[in-house]
Amino acid sequence: MGAADPFTLYHAPLRSRLLLGTARYPSPAILAEAVRASACEIVTVSLRREAGGSRAGESFWGLIREIGVRVLPNTAGCRTAREAIATAQMARDVFEADWIKLEVIGEEDTLQPDVFGLIEAARALSAEGFKVFPYTTDDLVVAEKLLDAGCEVLMPWAAPIGSGRGVNNAFALRALRAHFPGVPLIVDAGLGAPSHAVAVMEMGYDAVLLNTAVSRAGDPVAMARAFGLAVEAGRLAHLAKPMTPRDMAEPSTPALGRPFGDVA
């Protein structure tokens, strides 16, 4: 499907439409197995995991290099635009990459993004040449302002981070897809089962990013593979144009030519 269904993020060609986080796995070995089983090409990594300028995270960074995937550093845990900007700048030095998953958290219980700080940080980082992947809400106005700030990709949530609830507001996600048909949209956060991934891919989303649903599964490696297959299935279903739901039944076998016809 890859060659016939091109997928690019900031002009980088990709085959897999699944992105994985790297936090809270039972062990580095299981993380590596899960990434390989999923066939994903991008993983997110927190600067805190790498321990900034120290060598404390060198073994982890070596593992990521060994797997051979692209790294998308993130600003997880940042609460202000200023903190997120500084973290992104450090991440560019540590990971030698200008891609950044931008998080500015505004509420503790739901980990909902602070959209005002997010837009501020996105504008500043885009001006510095960063390729910004903003973790945002499903709000159309916020999406428009992020695009105006220089983002070329949007990453709306489906539900709060780590909740596993699936799609909380299908109407909002469908509206985003309809309003921005040419913008790469990645559902980030809240997916808990492969069926959730199928659902958003069938809506026409370009990819999904998840972490907890895999890392906290009973068998992370098997779950990673399941999500990889689900994303592919959902994308294929979207391209195949699913049938429109009906209110009434419609026989799959036509009445004309029934074996016994009408009996008097």
The residue count for the chain: 264
Catalytic residue among 101, 131, 145, 241: 101
CB-based contact 88:51 (threshold 8 Å): no
175-178: which pairs have CB atoms within 8 A and are 24 or more residues apart?
A: 175/138, 175/140, 176/138, 176/140, 176/143, 177/203, 177/204, 177/205
Give the whole-angstrom CA distance, residue 139 versus residue 116.
12
Q: Can you point out the beta strands (E) in the chain?
A: 7-9, 12-14, 18-21, 42-46, 70-74, 99-102, 131-136, 155-156, 186-188, 207-210
First to last CA, the chain: 54
Phi/psi at 131 (nearest 5 deg)? Answer: -100, 100
Give catalytic status of residue 101 as yes or no. Answer: yes
Backbone phi, psi, residue 257, to 5°: 85, 25
Q: Which residues are catalytic?
A: 101
